[in-house]
Amino acid sequence: VWKPGGSFSIEEVEVAPPKAKEVRIKIVATGLCGTEMKMLENQMPYPIIMGHEGAGIVESVGEGVSTVKPGDKVITLFLPQCGECASCLNSEDNYCIQLKQSHTSLMTDGTSRFTCKGKPIYHFANTSTFSEYTVIREISVAKIDSAAPLEKVCLISCGFSTGYGAAINTAKVTPGSTCAVFGLGGVGLSVVMGCKAAGAARIIGVDVNKDKFEKAKEVGATECISPQDFKKPIHKVLVEMTGTGVEFCFEVIGNPEMVAAALASCHESHGVCVIVGLLEYGVQLNINGYLFFSGRSLKGSVFGGWKSRQNVSKLVSDYMAKKFNLDPLITHTMNLDKINEAVGFMKTGKCVRCVLLL
């Protein structure tokens, strides 16, 4: 993308060899995530190669790389795992300090590995997977099962892991519980899958787009409702439906008003609300403080609470063991040069996840 508000442009790009502790990867498949759609509207450095939900094969490694070698199948990670910071050393934490300290738009040494038409091109989210080749730090790469189908497991790079883990790790959904999921896109459906895997008895999907209801029920939702079908606020509808409010509620849209509604939908004493959707930087939440008096809790979640390098390979193994199915999440598969068409599908709401093949 050359400029703010611009569309994706297919260009010939020179990708430099990896430097120390870096890996050059031939990307095979990458998902088009809602995060890209939001970030296109935000201020970023341009020109930039976006993409952060990818899987590929290691082409070459820089000096000092010891955990992957050429020929290995890998998944790219927007959330690194350095293994040394306080977060990485804490068993309950996954927000590696390297995410905050790194140049997410440049490599560690402050330079780019991409050149196009003689100009350096910025990286995105430490990954830049909308490219046949990309260079990533070793701490942002996870080696996976050599038999894994990359056009499926690329979703474990972000969308699936984020939603599935929000239910299992962040909320810690309990067997027999009642859950509500606000937003039934790719990540929201992954939350539904996580709630089901955790043994929830009732999973209520909430979305204004009723076309998503059938897919939500296919992956585990027991019922679906649209706020537009009611004259009263959606949190009152959910409290009436359940009698007490839901035990676990997930906001997977990134809408501050929906965060307030999701929290108000929770059981007053032990309800847990998890923000999974990406809220824009600086957005303020307008929440009635009295909601917390009786014991409700509001939590954030990044990458579903998984330690990225450590857990992604295990999630891929679980997929290979048929513990979950990614197929329902993939509604479109296209070649990378159709990326603007894929963006159009995402904007219509008819596309859950589009996988781009390189």
Query: Which residues are part of the catalytic machinery?
Result: 33, 36-38, 52, 82, 85, 88, 96, 158
Q: Give the C-alpha separation, 148 to 137, whole Å.
A: 22
CB distance 52 to 125 below 8 Å: yes
Residue 179's region, left for phi above 0, alpha for psi from -120 to 50, else beta, is beta
Query: How far is it, in rounded angstroms, from Cα 318 to Cα 337?
Result: 32
Of residues 46, 49, 50, 26, the one with CA closest to residue 37: 50
- How many Cβ atoms from other residues are within 10 Å of residue 247's Cβ? 22
Instruction: With beta carbons less than 8 A apart as the criterion, state whether 34 and 163 touch.
Output: no
SS3 at position 65: coil
List, in sequence order, the alpha helices (H) in the chain.
34-39, 86-89, 97-101, 150-153, 159-165, 186-197, 213-219, 234-242, 256-264, 308-320, 339-348
